[in-house]
Structure 1
Amino acid sequence: MQDAVNVDDFRRIARRRLPRPVFDTLEGGAGDEYSLRGNRSAFDHIEFRPRPLADVSKRDLSTSVFGEKHALPIMLAPTGAGRLAHSSAELAVARAAARADAVYMQSTVAAFPPEQVAEASTGKLWFQLYLPRARDETADLLRRIESAGYRALSVTIDAPVFGNRERDARSRLLSRAPWHPQMLAHGIARPAWALDFVRGNFGPRRPGGKQRLTLGQTRSTIMNSSYSVTWEDLDHVRSVWKGPLMVKGLMRGDECARLADAGVDGVVVSNHGGRQLDGVPATVDVLPEVVDAAAGRLAVFLDGGVRRGNDVVKALCLGASGVFVGRPYLYGLAVGGEDGVYRVIELLRAELDRAMALLGAATVADLDRTLVSGARIPPTLSPSKG
Structure 2
Amino acid sequence: MKRQVPNVREILELVSFKKPELNGRKRRLESALTIEDLRAIAKRRTPKAAFDYTDGSAEGEISLARARQAFADVEFHPSILRDVSKVDTSTTIFGGPSSLPFGIAPTGFTRLMQTEGETAGAGAAGAAGIPFTLSTLGTTSIEHVKAANPTGRNWFQLYVMRQRDISYGLVERAAAAGFDTLMFTVDTPIAGARLRDKRNGFSIPPQLTASTVLDTLARPWWWFDFLTTTKLEFASLTETGGTVGELLDYAMDPSIDYDDLAEIRALWPGKLVVKGVQNVADSRRLADLGVDGIVLSNHGGRQLDRAPIPFHLLPEVVREVGRDTEIAIDTGIMNGADVVASIAMGARFTLVGRAYLYGLMAGGRQGVDRAIAILADQVVRTMKLLEVASLEELTPAHVTQLERLVPRARG
Query: TM-score, structure 1 length as denominator?
Result: 0.92
Rounded to whole Å, the distance in 1 between the matches of 2:352 and 2:204 is 27
Aligned 8 A contact 1:158 1:248 in 2: yes
Equivalent of 1:207 in 229, 235, 241: 235
Match of 1:137 in 2: 166
| CA deviation profile, 1:12-48 (whole Å, cap 9, x unmatched) | 0011111222211111111111101011011122110
- Paired residue for 1:117? 145
Identity %: 38
Alignment partner of 1:226 is 2:252: yes
Which secondary structure does the structure 2 equivalent of 1:2 belong to? helix
Q: Which residue of 1 aligns with 2:105?
A: 77
Aligned positions of 1:373-384 closer than 5 A: 373-375=400-402
Instruction: Report the CA distance between 1:177 and its aligned residue.
Output: 4.9
Deviates more, 1:115-124 or 1:311-320: 115-124
Which one-letter code corresponds to 2:317 in the other structure?
V
User: Does the 8 Å contact 1:112/1:208 carry over to 2?
Assistant: no
- How many Å apart are 1:139 and its aligned residue? 2.7
Residue in structure 2 matching 1:181, options 199, 210, 219: 210
Instruction: Please tell me the residue identity of whatever aligns with 2:299.
Output: H
User: 2:177 aligned with 1:148, yes or no?
Assistant: yes
**AA partner of residue 259 (structure 2):** E
Deviation track 1:114-159 (CA, whole Å, cap 9, x = no partner) reads 0111112132111100113234333322111001110100011001
Give the corresponding residue for 1:383.
none
1:307 corresponding residue in structure 2: 334
CA contact (8 A) 1:95 1:120 kept: yes
- Residue 390 of structure 2 is matched in structure 1 by 363
Which of 102, 116, 122 is equivalent to 1:94?
122
Which amino acid letter does the alignment assign opposite residue 249 of structure 2?
M
SS at match of 2:311: helix
* Of 60-69 and 220-229, the range deviating more from structure 2: 220-229
2: distance between equivalents of 1:25 and 1:198? 19
Q: Shift in Å at residue 176 of structure 1?
A: 8.0
Instruction: Tell me the equivalent position of 1:381.
Output: none
Name stretches of at least 5 consecutive residues in structure 1 with no aligned partner: 378-386
Q: Which residue of 1 aligns with 2:18?
A: none
1:114 & 1:176 partners in 2: Cα distance?
20
- The runs of at least 4 aligned residues of structure 1 exceeding 4 Å deviation read none
Work out the CA distance in 2 between the residues paired with 1:353 and 1:164. Answer: 38
Secondary structure (helix, strand or coil) at the match of 1:60 reads coil
SS of the residue 2:191 aligns to: coil
Task: State the AA in 1 paired with 2:357.
Answer: L
CA distance in 1, matches of 2:164, 2:197: 31
Of 18, 22, 25, 2:50 maps to 22
The answer to which of 337-346 and 279-288 deviates more is: 279-288
**Contact 2:58-2:193 at 8 Å conserved across structures:** yes
Displacement of 1:319: 0.6
In structure 2, the CA distance between the partners of 1:197 and 1:305, relative to structure 1 (3 Å rule), is same
Question: Does residue 1:169 correspond to 2:225, yes or no?
Answer: no
SS in 1 for 2:295: strand
Quick one: distance in 2 between partners of 1:314 and 1:325?
14
The farther-off stretch of 16-25 and 89-98 is 16-25
Report the Cα offset of residue 69 of structure 1: 2.1
Residue 42 of structure 1: aligned partner: 70
Deviations 1:333-372 (A, max 9, x none): 0111111101110111011001001101100111110111
Paired residues of 2:202 and 2:243 also in contact (CA < 8 A)? no
Q: Conserved in 2, the CA contact under 8 Å of 1:252 and 1:289? A: no
* Among candidates 258, 261, 282, match of residue 255 of structure 1: 282
Q: Is the 8 A contact 1:283 1:303 kept in 2?
A: yes
Distance across 2 between alignment mates of 1:327 and 1:199: 25
Q: Does the 8 Å CA contact 1:114/1:208 hold for their aligned counterparts?
A: no
* Gap runs ≥5 in structure 2: 1-28, 405-411
Aligned to 1:240: 267
Q: Given the superposition, is the C-alpha separation of residues 213 and 255 from structure 1 closer, same or farther in structure 2, using an over 3 Å criterion? A: closer
Assess if the C-alpha contact under 8 Å between 2:135 and 2:156 holds in 1.
yes
| Distance verdict in 2 for CA 1:189–1:375, change over 3 Å | closer
Q: Which has the larger radius of gyration?
A: 2
Partners of 1:206 and 1:373 lie apart in 2 by 42
Of 36, 39, 42, which residue of structure 2 is paired with 1:8?
36
